[in-house]
Amino acid sequence: ILPSPTPSLELSSSDGSGGVLGSETGASSRVVESLDSIDTERFNSTDGLATSPPSKGAESNEFAEQHVAEVETDLDESMSAPSTDLDWASRSALATLQSSSFMSVLAVSCVALAPAPALSARLGTDRAMSLLSSLAAITATVEIALSPVLGSVLDSFGRKRAMVVAQLAIVAAHALAAVELNLLTICLAKAAALLCGGQLFVISHTMIADLTASRPERLGAVLGTQSALISAGFLSGAILGGRLAERGLRLCYGASAIFAAAGAANFLLRMHETLPEKDRVPFDPAAARRKVIEAPISCTKLLVGHGAAMRMLSILLVLLTVPINMGDVFQVFTSKEWGLKPRAFSQFIALVGLIGIVSNAASRVLIPRIGLKRFTSIAILSSLAFPIGTFFSYGGALVGACLGCLASAQKLGIMAAIAAQGTKAGVPQGQLAGEKASLLALLKVIGPVLYSALYRKGTKIGMPNLPFVFNMVLSVAALVLCQKYLE
């Protein structure tokens, strides 16, 4: 399983989460209008589902209603491209959300690889790695505590405000590092990226799920497009950040702050709120405090609180998410076992980002045609190629990464199914996003410790690839559960 360059799509996916901004109501209303106006656009937007245009005024209201019902039925059964039933406002909102996400990822990835060498130069490698690991554990713990409250905030005050606040926090932290570069500001910028960056994806996928969680194929396809743009942002940021770093870290952080500010301005000025006032839940401060206290338990609420179907989907999500929380173990492995220098490692990460673009772009085409279950199964099988390649050499790992190009999209179907199941069970998408983020944040704490122990054990027994063997076991288990429980 490839180390993912982007936060897991804990999407309400939410992790976390095609045609997401469309609705069946919108599709039906356009069909009604086209029946009245004899507009041939109807026949394009329904992909030829309508047979022939009736003569204007020749059909009775009863015939029109019957014809509309037939078209609606065909639309429900259609596996056509997800964007065909999006109105202009929905397409515009989707474009704004995706472009803002791209800018945010570009901003964070510009400095993603900067803290380690900068802190190593100041503190030494061992102390720097210890500091970064502690910082990651602290931010993950904070995320666990705040994720349930985030869900309440999203369901009470809407999604847009929370998104803008998270974006502006990144802008402020990175601008401060650009103006006054020292140990404290580097750590603050890193913490802001870890904490707020993850929440940006949770909120954005919650907004997507607000609009079309009832059609997992469409949701999965649009999540694929979103993930492809995120991968593109990471790839672009990693390349740009490497070049800017040669001219100084201040320039890196300054560029990052500018990109983040552009994304925030784009979202603030162009994006509308996706949660209607009538669907908002009054905010209860006492309940929010109780959720913070119960945060450790809330990590498991997604597993036990919404029925057997949600529990099995959550287990699937966990199995597919654990491998991307290797922490610094993968970088240590590539350095000791393959002799990769930082520059070569950055190039490998860029390759992973490029593969992620291909993977998630392919998902938009494949999911509507072959379905979530079949696509997810193929993607999980694809994920086995990379860990197998690590047993040969760096070159073997590169070949495995290319052969396993769909691995980056293996969670899309699970996240789409979780969002759809939450809608079916009547769970507010904000609450679902908070519970999912809390569960995945727990993996961020456990993952680095687990993989560090596996690597140390593997080196002692002459099998440094032991972490990748573990990943293969997780993939096989996920494949079995996928066949049984994913619809």
Q: Which domains does the chain have, with CATH numbers?
A: 26-43+55-74 (no CATH), 88-485 (1.20.1250.20)
Give pLDDT tens digits for 247-295: 888 898 999 999 999 999 988 888 878 777 777 888 878 877 777 776 6
Copy the structure tokens of residue 24. Answer: 């069946």
The pLDDT of 405-415, averaged and rounded, is 81
Copy the structure tokens of residue 372. Answer: 């979530």
Angle value at C-alpha 254, between 250 and 257, nearest 5 degrees: 140
pLDDT of residue 142: 80
Which has more confidence, 363 or 11? Answer: 363
Average pLDDT of the residues of the chain: 74
Q: Give the least confident one: 162-166, 343-347, 445-449.
A: 343-347
pLDDT at 405 over 50: yes
pLDDT at 83 over 70: no
Q: Shortest CA distance to 436 belongs to which of 277, 335, 338, 301?
A: 301
d(CA 185, CA 118): 12
Residue 335, φ and ψ in degrees, nearest 5 = -75, -45
The pLDDT of 194-209, averaged and rounded, is 80
pLDDT of residue 261: 93
- Report which DSSP code applies to 16: -
Cβ neighbours around 328 below 10 Å, total? 16
d(CA 243, CA 399): 27
Cβ neighbours around 350 below 10 Å, total? 19
- Report which DSSP code applies to 111: T
pLDDT band at 343 (very low <50, low <70, confident <90, very high): low
Percent of the chain scoring above 70 in pLDDT: 76
CB of 170 closer than 8 Å to CB of 192 = yes
pLDDT of residue 172: 94
Percent of the chain scoring above 90 in pLDDT: 10
Half-sphere exposure of 320 (CA within 13 A, CB side): 32
Tell how far CA 71 is from the center of its chain. Answer: 33
The pLDDT of 310-338, averaged and rounded, is 83
CB of 96 closer than 8 Å to CB of 266 = yes
pLDDT at 8 over 90: no
The pLDDT of 372-394, averaged and rounded, is 88
